[in-house]
Amino acid sequence: MKLLTLYLLMLSVALPVTAAELKVDLGQGIMTYRTEALLKRHDARTISVPADVAFEHTMQYRAVPLAALLKGIGPGDHLQFVASDGFAAEIPAEIILNHRGSEAWLAIEDPAHPWPALGKDHGHAGPFYVVWTQPRAAHIGPEQWPYQLATIRRMDSVARRFPAIVPDSSLPADSEVQHGFVVFQHTCFACHTLNGEGDARLGPDLNIPHNPTEYLRADLLRAYIRNPQSLRQWPQAKMQGFDTQALSDADLDALLAYLRHMAGRKAQGSAAH
């Protein structure tokens, strides 16, 4: 038995890291991009990413401009980036097409030179990872850096797909709750559902059976969002904190206003996924 175990271990070490596939569905048929082909593209280049979100230090990647893989999208389109671990980032196409200095790239893990493992028991970032150069220019948040990427899809807007997460329509467009709804989509909806609606599969539902504003004091909830380990120390925890650079105090205020509002709008008959 020991010899068999040793043999299997040696075999697994000897096997090369396999190439991967990225599926892109923009509504006109699914395009499949394979690692080998992406690495050989004429527009692939080596880029340097300071303060990389996943690795928390400067990283260099072989990457392709993301917009080059999304031909035909317009500023009004909405895209969903789905990772193999259940993370589902909702990113408006306008951000990718922006002319404000930020540029989105698809980083491609070379099987011959795999990326290091992520810290804090977060696994591996490959095979594909959306990274940004000059992210501050377009106010790119940490949830807009999806790694372990498997699929990109053009979708209807979040509000159309998931009406149970939308605030009361009578609220003014410039209200704090409506602002908080936008913040929620950028920061929370990639990992959590609300009222049983959403595509993410990483975190619990944020309204059913109870909204966090119903069982946590405002100061504790703020502290938890800023640094989850400040409330519960758990080595296997996956939630990352949002510092003031990723989530301003005003945006956090608006997010909490949205959550408090939705606590009074639980979808009847829904169940958390």
pTM value surpassing 0.85? no
The pair phi, psi for residue 223, each rounded to 5°, is -65, -40
The CATH number given to whatever domain includes residue 61 is: 3.90.420.10
Long-range contacts at 30-35 (CB < 8 A, ≥ 24 apart): 31/69, 33/69, 35/108, 35/109, 35/110, 35/111, 35/127
Q: Same domain, yes or no, for 94 and 207?
A: no
202 and 85 in one domain? no
The domain boundary, picked from 123, 155, 187, lies at 155
Instruction: Examine the domain organization and report whether 32 and 69 are in the same domain.
Output: yes
Alpha helices, H only, 103-247: 158-161, 176-187, 212-215, 218-226
Query: Does the pLDDT at position 13 exceed 60?
Result: no
Report the pLDDT value the prediction gives residue 11, as an integer from 0 to 100. 39
Range in 24-38, 50-64, 127-141, 232-246 with the lowest mean pLDDT:
232-246
Residues 188 and 220 in one domain: yes
Is the pLDDT at 114 greater than 60? The verdict is yes
Choose one of 155, 173, 204: the last residue of a domain: 155
> Domain total for the chain?
2
- Look at residue 56 and tell me if it is in a domain: yes
| Residue 126 shares a structural domain with residue 41 | yes
Assigned domain for 3 exists: no
- In 3D space, the residue among 191, 163, 171, 197 whose CA is nearest the CA of residue 258 turns out to be 171
How much is the CA Rg of the chain, to the nearest whole Å?
Answer: 20
Instruction: Please indicate, yes or no, whether residues 68 and 21 belong to a single structural domain of this protein.
Output: yes
**Residue 246's pLDDT band (boundaries 50, 70, 90)?**
confident
Do the domain assignments include residue 25? yes
Structure tokens at 205: 């539902």
**Are residue 204 and residue 115 in the same domain, yes or no?**
no
Find, among 188, 171, 226, the residue nearest to 88 by Cα.
188
Decide if 273 is inside a domain. no
Q: Are residues 187 and 97 in the same domain?
A: no
Domain that residue 215 falls in: 159-263
Query: For 245-266, what is the mean pLDDT?
Result: 94
How sure is the predictor about 16, in pLDDT bands with cuts at 50, 70 and 90? very low
| Predicted pLDDT of residue 141 | 86
Asked if pLDDT for residue 198 goes beyond 60, the answer is yes
Confirm whether 143 is domain-assigned.
Answer: yes
Residues 168 and 148 in one domain: no
Mean pLDDT within 228-244: 73
Same domain for 144 and 256, yes or no, is no
Residues 52 and 130 in one domain: yes
Q: Residue 210 is part of a domain; what is its CATH number? A: 2.60.40.420
